[in-house]
Structure formats: C-alpha cells, structure tokens
A and B are shown apart, each in its own frame.
Chain A
Amino acid sequence: MQPAVEFRNISKAFGAVQANADVSFSIAKGSIHGVIGENGAGKSTLMSILYGYYNADSGQLLIDGEERQIRTSQEAIAMGIGMVHQHFMLVENMTVLDNVMLGTEGGFKLAAKRKDTEAKLREICARYRLDVDPLATIHDLSVGAQQRVEILKQIYRSAEILILDEPTAVLTAQETASLFEILRLFKEQGKTIILITHKLGEIMEITDQVTVMRAGRVAGAVATRDTSKEQLANMMVGRPIEGNLPRKPFNPGAPVLKVSGLQLQDKHGVKLLSDIDLTVRAGEIVAIAGVSGNGQSELMEILSGMRLPSSGKVEFLGTELPFARRANADGLPAEFRALGIGHVPEDRLRDGVIKDFTVMQNTVFGYQDRVKNKAGLFDFKAIADRCAHLLEAFDVRPKNPDLRIGLLSGGNQQKVVIAREVSAAPKLMLVGQPTRGVDIGTIESIHTQLLRLRDEGVAILLVSTELEEVRALADRIVVVSSGRVTGELNIDEFDTTRIGLLMGGMHKH
C-alpha cells in the first residue's frame, strides 16, 4: 500500500535560516505518526508545506504515491489534508456552523446550505463522539471544545490526512485522554493522523511511528514500539539531556512573599483566581505548575503589580502590598520594582522589552529613573558600562548594545531580560515561562542562572507549563487548576502522574 504522505528531499529556507534541509520520510496510511523536535527544529515548517501554507524550495511531495504540487491551502484541502493549528483558526463571535461553512459555503446564499451542513455536522459529531453543538457560539465554548470544533471542520471537509500541531498544549489530562480516544477512532476508520508534539509521553502513548527532527533535518525515524523516551530525547537534542544541575542544599530563609486569600474576577464575573494562598521564602524556588490558562498568568500579573486583585492580601517582607486604595494598576509595577520585586514576564515581546529599542535601551527598561546624572538626564557612560558588563556576564549574542533587540534570537532576548532583572538585586524574582521560545543551549544557562540566584538567597516564584523545567528547578511545587490551588508537594514527592491529575483538577485528598 502506498504511504499516505511521502516527503522526498524537501528543503525550505527563510532568508538566512534553513528551516528544512533535505527532509525525507514517509507516513503510512491509517497510522498515527508522530513528528517531534524542539522549538525551531523545522516540524511546523514541514507541516505548513504539506498544508500548502508555504511552498518548498526544492524536493518532492507525494500524496498516495503520486507527486503533487500543493500551492495553497485550498489545494491541500481538496486533496483531503486537514490541519488543526496550535492557535485555533476560529472566528470567536460566530457559531460553530458559520465557522465550518467559512470557505465551503457552496453558493452565494448561505441559507441554502445551512440546514444541510448542520445535519451533517450532527452526524459527524455522533460518529466520532465529538460532543459539539453546531449552533453554539465559539467564545462560549471551552478550549477543549474549541479544539474539537477545529477537528470537526477538517472531518467535514473530508480530510483523510489530519495534521495536529501541539494539540495537547492547552488541554487538561482528561481532555487529552478524550482527544486520544477520538484519534484512535479516526485510525480505525482508515484516516492518517500526523501528530506534531514535543511531549515524549504522548508519543509513546498514541503513535505507531515517530520521526525526530533536529535543526531542520531528520535525526531519526523509528517505530514507536522499538524505542523509548530516553532514546527519542537523545535524538531530539543530539546530546545527552541535562542531568541535574548543581544546587546548594535546600535551606530556606524567612518568608519573603505571603499570599493570602487572593481572588480575581474578570468583568463578566468569571472567577479567574479563587482563594490562592502561597508562601515563598528566601533561597527557595516555588514553581507553579499547571496547564496554560488556569490562572497562573493572572497571578503573576497581580504579584508584579500589572493588575489588581479583586480581594485578598499579599505581604512582601512583612508589609502589605499597596493594592487597597487604588482604582487601577496604572504605575503600580514601578512601586513593586522599587520595593525589590523583579519580574521576568511570560510574554517577553509583549511585556518585557521594546522591540524597536536597542539592547542597551532595554537594559534599563523598568529602571529608567535610576540611571540619571546630576542634571536629571541619562548617565550614558554608566548605562553603557553596565550594559557591556551584563552582555558579557550573561553571554548575550551578538554582544552589540546598539542592535535593535527585535533582531536578537528569542534566547538572547530572554538573557537580556534576565540580566536586567537580576542586576537590580531583587529580593523576590517572579519568573514566567523563562524558556519559552528559547533554544536548548540557552535553556541550560537560564536554569543555571536561576539556581544561582536561589543559592544567593533570592526568593523565586516560577510559573512553567513544562514539567521537566519544574522538576529541574523547583524546591516546592504548587499545582493550580481552574484558578485554584489543587495541591502542593516538595520536590522529592515529584510524581508525573499525581501532578497530572492535580493539573487536571483532581484535588489532593
């Protein structure tokens, strides 16, 4: 039987970056095929070529044994290829039905096809147990349900080859299990599934074959039953994975941050955070683990002064933080910074740096009022000296202070942010997703940096969706789900299954 998809010597470059180099492998029909690799390995680019989003520079693409040119997404759809993106391609204020009909309306008048489409959707939902109401509006649906709508869209368009890009990034354990059930059903019906992920556990659980990509090339192709997580990880990274980084024995000092009864509601009354209690002591790393979107981001925003809580108390070094008499958080981050709270934000480009400012300008971002000379203007000599020192100490590349920071890689941008916050000698460091979008070499150096801070007695509150990162850094772990703390453990109680359950909302008994 012909493979459903075959890549032969596919290459694609974006400017100076070679995203795919001579990629060749095939995907069997009626199988679940995993494609793994870290950020920047080229898996998303390859799938985008398959989906017609990009065109390869060279190489051949064969669908069902025949060479094809897929120039646009429309052509891909016509060939039965469907893609469920990581960031949903849904119009929020329209119904499921309208979202499905978009692009397949069948005629100028919508009414003609609406009834038919609705019936067909209900039938598909029943057959694959998708549990979605075609007349529901997207923004009323949960994240898991929205993903099912994406899948529904592809099935409706008779996709036989389904590509899923990091589908479980935003799902709870329960929702992931449901998704995998659906995928198994698809496989039974003879559909081909391509699963892009970086989660080794999932690969081992659901796939039949795995292709490992690294730096734009195929680093390995194996049958799942013939391999192991460790072997895959090695192929993914190209060298033995980071063992335990050195750290001093756990010897926490006095409490630096004490959160009591923190609540947050949004303007519709939806509870984003409920009864959050937590304490971080000097010289300890407390990691908040949880699936993205369960309140961790909001918690960080509150603790860094970027947002006001609805109620509750936060004490920093014994004094209550000044939330009380304020109408909004305008200017509050500056006050928190002055107290000694540093913040490495989750979304570096949105919050942490000004893309069009130079590296040097970004090294004083947030601290711009502390670097003035006697005339009240910037002390450029002092700023330049400090910048040069930071770039050196944190190994930022390229070491050019006048480069626009937007031109640096994600990892180097992050190093600048961390260098800046660390050099202000905070007593509490809030760190959100420190290694998101960062290459593997830099991850290790960032982790080392954070551990060093901890050893120096700084209190660190870390938010991360990567359990491996949590395991590498935390002294204590607080698990949140749906805005509540569902469990707390010490690092020596670390247990993936238990944490997974807590992340999925099962409270510890």
Chain B
Amino acid sequence: MEDFQFASIIVSTIRNAPVLIFAAMAGLFAERSGVVDIGLEGKILASAFVSAGVAYTWQDPWIGIAAGILVSVALAMVQAFVSITQKGNQLVAGIAINIAMSGLTFVVAQYFFQQGGRTPDLGEARLTDVVLPGTALVADVPFLGWFYGHLIGGHSVLVYLAFLLLPVVHWTLFHSRFGLRLRACGENPHAADAAGVSVQRTRYIAMLIAGVLCSFSGAYLSVVQSGFFLRDMSAGAGYLALTALVFGNWRPIYTVLGCLMFGFFQAVQIQIEGVDLPVVGRIPGSLIQMIPYVVTVIVLAGLMAKSVAPKALGKPFVKSR
C-alpha cells in the first residue's frame, strides 16, 4: 500500500514538472540575456487558452499548440519592445501582461464558446500518451513493468520534450556561440557591445525563445493535463517557475531540479488530501493548496543571499561613454 502510493507520487511528480520546466526554461533565456520576465504567467494563460480553443475548433492538438506558440511569441515581442526598445520598467510590463491576459482570455473564451469563460472539453483531440515498444511484454514483470511502462514510458510527448530540453538548453547556453553572446549580454552588455555583439538583437531573440518555450507550458496545462481551458488556470505557475530559477541559480540543471521539487510537493499535496495523518489529523484542502506558495517564500527568503542573478538583469542597455 505504501509503496504503491510512493510510486504514484513519483509518476505525478514527473507529470507535474513540465508546466514549470517549460516556463522556467523560458525565463532562463530571457533573464540570462538581462531581461526580467515576470510575464510568464500571462503567456502561459494566453497559450493555454489559444491551444485549447484552436485544438477544439480544428479537432487537432498540434494545430492548437502551434497557435499557442504564435500567441505567446506575440506577447513576448510586446514585452521585448517595451523592455528593450522603450527601456521601460520590465516588472511593470510583465505584470501588465499577466493582468491583461487574465481578463482577455476569459472574454475571448466567452465570446467564442459561451461556456462561462472556458473552452469545451477536447475529448478525443488530446495528445495520446507515448507507449514505448515492448511495454506490453514487460507489463507483468514486478517493478520493471511499472518502471518501463509508467515511469519511463506512458507519458505525453510534451513530457519527454520538457526533459529533453535540459541537455539542449544546457548545451546551447554553455557550448554554443549564441549562448556565449547571450550570457555576455546578461552579465556585461557593454562588453558584449564592444565585442561587436548586438545586445538588442540578442535580447530580442532570447525573448522570442522564451515566448516559444512558455507556450508549451500553457499548452501542457490545457491540452495535456486537463483537456480544456479554465479561467486563471495557471494559478501562479509562472511565479513558481521564476522561483525555481532563483533556487537553481539560473543554471539549467538545478532549475529543473527546482521544478521537480515543486512538482513533488504538488503530488504529495494531492495524496495527503483526505488522509488522516498522525497528530494533525486531516489537513483542510485550502491549507494544502498553500504549500507551493509558502515554499516559494521560504526559498526566496533563504536562498537570496547565496543565489547570484545575472549582473545586468533588469537594467535596460544604454550605450554610454
């Protein structure tokens, strides 16, 4: 009984993490180039809605995901314009996007689907889970069957994409020309500029990548996890992703670990609900739901002293002499 619960917690963790991983990797690119991206939440919501809405209308999840990418990139470009070209306050720009999308997604959902601001259930139009070859063969083998069939295999394509991102992002950031230039823009944009790198262009590209990656987070929420879009369904995922970045010191692997940690808490949360624990008894659902947010505050309180943000983060680049 205990083992079984533990097993499902692990599987849940893996399935909860991608929402945060996509968003955190998006934030990673933006912030490593020097642009603060508080607007992850808004991009997630927008792409969640568009992905679900378009997927329903065309009865094809992939078209939905593609549409979600377009929307998220458009928002990212607005943010980029405000932050990079206009040199405006990046925090305010992000918050503006979040609030605007919270309202707009509801209004447009209501306009098209008349279902109280949500999209209709996707039903068949969802992504199928990936079944690894040979799963049926080992299905009856104790542990191996579960391990191969449910832990490694049996997830949605986007889950694999999320975890595959880790080596790709790591390599891009630390072993490619683009990554070197990106990091320079985030640490000392004047040095990058003097070396002939276009800081503006690099940051715009970083925001473009952020837009693309973030869209998968939203698509995962609506197309993979629930099958529909619901008002404000991101519930703070964008901010949790930012916290994972801080926790991971803006390094891909530790950031993903942070996302897994949040995914783990979420998984435990669901298991604990309705369970009588020794001493404290049954913990009310509302209090359990608080956990990720409380953990975020603890992380931010405890680790800020040690975590080192990219030096030029949040400071618009102005050529000066």
Beta-carbon nearest neighbor of B171 in chain A = A109
Which A residues touch B196, using CB under 8 A?
Answer: 72-74, 77, 103
Q: Please report which residues of chain B, range 194-220, place their CB below 8 angstroms from some CB of chain A when the two chains form the complex.
A: 194-197
Known A-B contacts A44-B321, A91-B183; A108 and B191 likewise in contact (beta carbons under 8 Å)? no
Q: Mark A128-166, 1 if CB is under 8 A from B, else 0.
A: 000000000000000000000000010000000000000
Do the beta carbons of A91 and B175 come within 8 Å of each other?
A: no
Q: A6-24 interface mask toward B, CB cutoff 8 Å, 1 = contact, 0 = none?
A: 0000000000000000000
Among B177, B178, B183, B194, the residue within 8 A (CB) of A89 is B194
Contact between A73 and B194, CB atoms less than 8 A apart:
yes
Closest to B190 in A: A89
A392 within 8 A of B: no
CB of B285 to closest CB in A, whole Å: 42
Q: Closest CB-CB distance, A165 to chain B, in whole Å?
A: 10
Q: Is the CB of B195 within 8 A of A103?
A: yes
Residues of A within 8 A of B194 (CB): 73, 83, 85, 89
**Complex Cα gap A101–B180 (Å):** 9
**Contacting pair B191 A89 (CB below 8 A):** yes
With contacts defined as CB atoms under 8 Å apart, how many contacts are there between chain A and chain B in the complex?
71
Stretch at the interface among A92-100, A172-180, A241-249: A92-100
CA A91 to CA B34, docked complex, whole Å: 13
Query: Knowing A103-B196, A105-B177, A109-B176 touch, does A91 contact B321 (C-beta < 8 A)?
Result: no
The chain A residue sitting closest to B310, CB to CB, is A93
Flag if B177 contacts A91 (CB, 8 Å). no
Checking A87, A88, A110, A153 against B175 with a beta-carbon cut-off of 8 angstroms, the contacting residue is: A110
Contact between B321 and A53, CB atoms less than 8 A apart: yes
Judge whether A111 is part of the interface by a CB distance below 8 angstroms: yes
Residues of B within 8 A of A83 (CB): 194
CB distance from B315 to the nearest CB of A (A): 15
Q: Which of B188, B192, B319 has most A Cβ within 10 Å?
A: B188
B187 contacts partner chain A, Cβ-Cβ < 8 Å: yes
* B180/A105 in contact, CB under 8 A: yes
Distance of A78 Cα from B1 Cα, bound (Å): 70
Tell me, in angstroms, the Cα distance from A98 to B195 when the chains sit together.
12
Q: Is B181 located at the chain interface by the 8 A CB criterion?
A: yes
A45: B residues at CB distance < 8 A: 321
> Is A48 close to B, CB under 8 A?
yes
Report the bound CA distance from A73 to B197 in whole Å: 9
**Of the candidates A54, A102, A107, which one forms a contact with B181 in the assembled complex, judged by CB atoms under 8 Å apart?**
A102
Interface presence of B184 (CB below 8 A) = yes
The one of A73, A77, A105, A110 that contacts B193, using a Cβ cutoff of 8 Å? A73
User: Cα distance A395–B319 when bound, in Å?
Assistant: 33
Taking residues whose C-beta sits less than 8 angstroms from the other chain, chain B's interface range is: 20 to 34
> Which of the residues A48, A53, A90, A107 comes within 8 Å of B191, measured between beta carbons?
A90
Partner of A91, one of B176, B178, B184: B184
- Verify if B311 is at the interface (C-beta below 8 Å from A): yes
Report A-chain residues with C-beta under 8 Å of the C-beta of B311: 92
Is A102 within 8 A of B195, CB to CB? Answer: yes
Chain A residue at minimal CB-CB distance from B176: A108
Which of B190, B191, B319 is A99 in contact with, Cβ under 8 Å? B191
Q: Are A102 and B184 CB-contacts (below 8 A) given A44-B321, A92-B311?
A: yes
Contact assessment for A109 and B175 in the assembled complex, using a CB-CB cutoff below 8 Å: yes
| Closest chain A CB from B202 CB (angstroms) | 11
A48 touches B321 (CB 8 A): yes
- Determine if A110 and B183 form an interchain contact, defined as CB atoms under 8 angstroms apart: no
Q: How far is the CB of B95 from chain A (nearest CB, A)?
A: 23
Tell me if B187 and A92 are in contact (CB < 8 A).
yes
Contacts of A105 in B (CB 8 A): 177, 180-181
- Establish whether residues A102 and B192, one from each chain, have CB atoms under 8 Å apart when the complex forms: yes
Q: Mark B147-179, 1 if CB is under 8 A from A, else 0.
A: 000000000000000000000000000011110
Residues of the B chain whose Cβ atoms lie less than 8 Å from the Cβ of A111 = 175
B28 to chain A, nearest CB (A): 16
Given A73-B193, A110-B177, output 14 extra A-B contacts at Cβ < 8 Å.
A44-B321, A45-B321, A77-B196, A90-B188, A91-B184, A91-B188, A91-B192, A92-B187, A94-B183, A103-B181, A103-B195, A105-B180, A107-B177, A111-B175
A-B contact pairs, 15 of them (CB 8 A): A44-B321, A45-B321, A53-B321, A72-B196, A101-B180, A102-B192, A102-B195, A102-B197, A103-B181, A103-B195, A108-B177, A108-B178, A109-B177, A110-B176, A153-B195
Q: When A and B form their complex, which 8 residue pairs have the shortest distance between CB atoms, in order from nearest?
A: A103-B195, A89-B191, A89-B194, A74-B196, A105-B177, A103-B196, A102-B195, A91-B187
